[in-house]
Amino acid sequence: MASAIFLLYGLLFYGSGIEVYDNVFFHVFAAIFVSGGFLFMFGQFVPSWDSSYYQLMMSQNIRYREYLQSKWWLMVIATAVSTVIASFYLYFGWKIYLMIVFGAIYNIGVNSLLVLLAGAYIKTPIDLTSSKRAFGDKQAFNLKTFLLSLPKMLLPILLFVIGDLIQGAETGFAFLAIAGIIGFAARGYFFGLIEKIYKKEKYSTIAAYKEKP
């Protein structure tokens, strides 16, 4: 449901007629959200979705790399599917939809890795069997988590602004796509770094999941 809301988020910026939103910077912001709904909602809670049996998983000698890659591919597929579904934004013109496509490339190559990184520090147990307080203790959203969330929104805007200043909006969007392609190509290296952080946080994560919300 939340992912569907993100998918429609662009209507506020592309089709609302609100003048303050009618600029390319808000359009970039919206493009990131339209394709990244599932990525943001799911990715930042890895491994919290598995909190009820996380300790058991770790005792089975499951390789962190394989675990993280399985979650990453799920986000990549969901982002690609969301981008295809978002083709209805062609109603507002091919340039608008192209923004969303470039935003999706950035999400796949960069933000997918950033949300996995943030997930190592969000130690909020999620009870999938309960409809109440499913996300446990809200205090798990600490300063470190907040700081890790900033690059997901600010970095693509910064990249676009740099490109826009150099040679216009087209260059700004090209920068987003290039960053996404580089991140995708170098994902093995970044997985290695993220894996080390998850291993470092392993026991504190298990301890946090044992606490009752």
Boundaries of every domain in the chain: 2-210
pLDDT in tens, 17-53: 666 666 777 888 888 888 888 888 787 777 767 667 6
How is residue 141 annotated by DSSP?
S
pLDDT in tens, 112-170: 999 988 888 877 766 666 554 444 444 445 566 667 677 888 889 899 989 989 988 88
Can you tell me whether residue 44 is helix, strand or coil?
A: coil
How is residue 118 annotated by DSSP?
H
Rounded to two decimals, the pTM is: 0.84
